[in-house]
């Protein structure tokens, strides 16, 4: 057969964007440095350093639903050009939802999780898996994250 085959970028060519620093690269000492393709375009990282350029270390890929459910900041939903968008961090991170119902359910699940965690902070001895509300919320999150 003939034709061009799309090549994965070299490790040193792969870069990500942060809100405050622009482009960042995975540090050569990171275990993910040789990874040339991530299923999700989002990474979480522990450390960011600047030498010859800005690098991140101790990074892991994160999928959309864990990011929406466990990421910081408020979750917002809006209709834009016929698509329902779920946004985080004042709109800097945005996802397209399959439908208005999916967007509303994800937003509501995030609110329920936030409230459950606040309840746990107020009452540290509360067993989240034994209380009916907590076990339902955790079960829904596990199902969503494992079946996405």
Q: Who's near 86: CB < 8 A, 6+ residues apart?
A: 68, 75, 76, 77, 94, 95, 97, 103, 106, 107
pTM of the entire structure? 0.74
Whole-number percent of the chain with pLDDT over 90: 34
Domain that holds residue 84: 65-146
Is residue 103 within 8 Å of 97, Cβ to Cβ? yes
Residues 56 and 77 occupy one common structural domain: no
pLDDT single digits (tens) 59-84: 999 988 888 888 878 888 888 888 88
Please state the domain count of the chain. Answer: 2
Residue predicted with more confidence, 26 or 5: 26
Residues 76 and 136 occupy one common structural domain: yes
Q: Is residue 6 part of a domain?
A: no
pLDDT single digits (tens) 105-140: 888 999 999 999 999 999 999 999 899 999 999 999
Residues 58 and 81 occupy one common structural domain: no
Mean pLDDT of 32-40: 86
Q: Report residue 4's pLDDT band, with 50, 70 and 90 as the boundaries.
A: low
Q: How far apart are CA 85 and CA 77, in angstroms?
A: 6
DSSP, collapsed to helix, strand or coil, labels residue 82 as coil
DSSP, collapsed to helix, strand or coil, labels residue 25 as strand
Q: Dig out the tokens for 126 from the structure.
A: 């509360």
């Amino acid at each position: 057969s003939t034709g061009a085959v799309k090549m994965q970028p070299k490790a040193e060519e792969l870069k990500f964007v942060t809100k405050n620093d622009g482009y960042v690269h995975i540090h050569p000492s990171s275990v993910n440095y040789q990874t040339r393709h991530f299923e999700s375009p989002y990474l979480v990282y522990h450390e960011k350093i600047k030498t010859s350029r800005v690098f991140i270390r101790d990074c892991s890929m994160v999928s959309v639903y864990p990011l929406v459910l466990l990421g910081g900041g408020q979750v917002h939903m809006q209709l834009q050009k016929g698509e329902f968008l779920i946004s985080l961090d004042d709109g800097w991170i945005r996802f397209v939802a399959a439908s208005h119902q999916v967007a509303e359910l994800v937003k509501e699940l995030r609110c329920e999780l936030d409230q459950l965690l606040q309840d746990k902070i107020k009452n540290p001895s509360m067993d989240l898996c034994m209380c009916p509300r907590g076990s339902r919320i955790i079960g829904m999150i596990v199902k969503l994250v494992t079946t996405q």
